[in-house]
Amino acid sequence: MEDRIGRQKADAVVIGGGMMGVCTAYYLAEQGSEVTLVEKGEVGSGCSNANAGLLVPGHSMPLATPGVIAKGIRWMLNPESPFYIKVRSDRDLFSWLWRFRQACSAEKMHRSMEYLCQLNSASKQLFEELSARGAEFFFEKRGLLIVCRTKSNLEAALQEVKAKEKLNVRATVLSRQLLLEMEPALRDDVAGGVHFPQDGHIDCYQFVRFMAEQARARGAKIMTGTEVIGWETGQGKVKKLMTTRGEISADQIVLAAGAWSAPLAKELGLRLPIQAAKGYSLSYKKPAISPAIPMILSETKVAVTPLPGILRLGGTLELAGVDLRINRRRVEAIIKAAPNYLKGIKAEKMELVELWRGLRPCSPDGVPLLGRSVRYNNLVVASGHAMQGVSLGPVTGKLVSQILTGEKPMLDVRPMKLERFN
């Protein structure tokens, strides 16, 4: 309800109009809560806009893995590498890197991987439920290919398969011949790969817009072009949000602003261990020879996603702070990667539809930050999903709605608690 112009009140305010925000607003509205979602741009204009759109209940891997530190040091010297850290004098960055290093042990990686598999499987089921209701969004379940050019990377992929077998996650190891039979668009000189049959892909921007409309149809208020510029707190609560369109008060606040969650939380005296990791994508008009199955190119970590009329190439992880400037060297690395794996892919002969970049919110251990703040008992944080934000959108929204309404969460949320790095 509106108290008067410029002042509003709701049961819950969701900050952020990306994947996490719209899914949270949808599930809250579905349960009958009076919800207001605020987004400083347009719905889906951030990291949910033109990413790879992969759903990965099978290929659920945290960024922090044994050996990634050594690779990262080498990659830091190469601006075209898959993982690049822009070294800068930043206390939060060094704190994050220290925690990231601690999360790279085999034991912690396996624990994170097991939990991410659970989250992703639950989220995939929610995608399927939405689709079964006749929802109009692009959703295909062709699985995901991990394509390797070298025997060493194929061996590394096989290690992931062995680890996933212990978690009862299905994966099929493919020889070169079997891989080419499954995906004829690949070059004949690939070494082999792995197929995760339970994985899928969506058009993320289309899905986010769809979920926002469904939330609105259930009574949610969507306020775009509305930036949070201040807070009023007291008695262990966030009492009001000051925005560019007036004050909003609410019984519950959900901070789901992606890479901007940490800067906003800092204004409340909270330090969220989240680093913005820039990624890029190039969307081309679909060429004559185009893959039908989404894939990850193992050596370069580039994702290839076939969408209606579009072939999207996405990749790189650039820890450079909240910085949306385009690094042409990083973009060129993606362009160079695809022709080494796919037939007939030459950037100069394809029609570019869009060059895009976005900021992924990364936690040190790859597991999201989701739960109530100890300092403000009416504030729930839902961020830090790294490269799996698309895949984890529905389950995040569902869990947050259950926390806010007092319902027992469908999964144990303790591994995501905000204080686990203290």
pLDDT of residue 5: 44
What is the rounded distance in angstroms from the CA atom of residue 133 to the CA atom of residue 157?
A: 36
The two structure tokens encoding residue 343: 């037939």
Q: Domain spans of the chain? A: 2-48+206-273+366-421, 57-200+274-362
Residue whose entry in the numeric block shows the structure tokens 């339970």: 198
- Report how far apart the first and last C-alpha atoms of the chain are (Å, whole number): 39
Amino acid in position 332: E
What is the rounded distance in angstroms from the CA atom of residue 81 to the CA atom of residue 334?
A: 10
pLDDT of residue 347: 82
pLDDT of residue 1: 33
CATH number of 2-48+206-273+366-421: 3.50.50.60
Residue whose entry in the numeric block shows the structure tokens 């986010």: 208
pLDDT of residue 4: 40
The maximal CA–CA distance of the chain, rounded, in angstroms, is 68
pLDDT of residue 70: 66
Give me the tens of pLDDT residue by residue for the chain, a chain 422 residues long: 333 445 677 899 999 999 999 999 999 999 999 999 999 999 999 989 999 999 999 999 998 888 776 666 666 667 677 788 877 788 999 999 999 999 999 999 999 999 999 999 999 999 999 999 887 899 999 999 999 999 999 999 999 999 999 999 999 999 999 999 999 999 999 999 999 999 999 999 999 999 999 999 999 999 999 999 999 999 999 999 999 999 999 999 999 999 999 999 999 999 999 999 999 999 999 999 999 999 999 999 999 999 999 999 999 888 888 999 999 999 999 999 999 999 988 888 899 999 999 999 999 999 999 999 999 999 999 999 999 999 999 999 999 999 999 999 999 999 999 999 87
CATH of the structural domain 57-200+274-362, one choice from 3.20.20.120, 3.30.70.20, 3.30.9.10, 1.10.150.120: 3.30.9.10
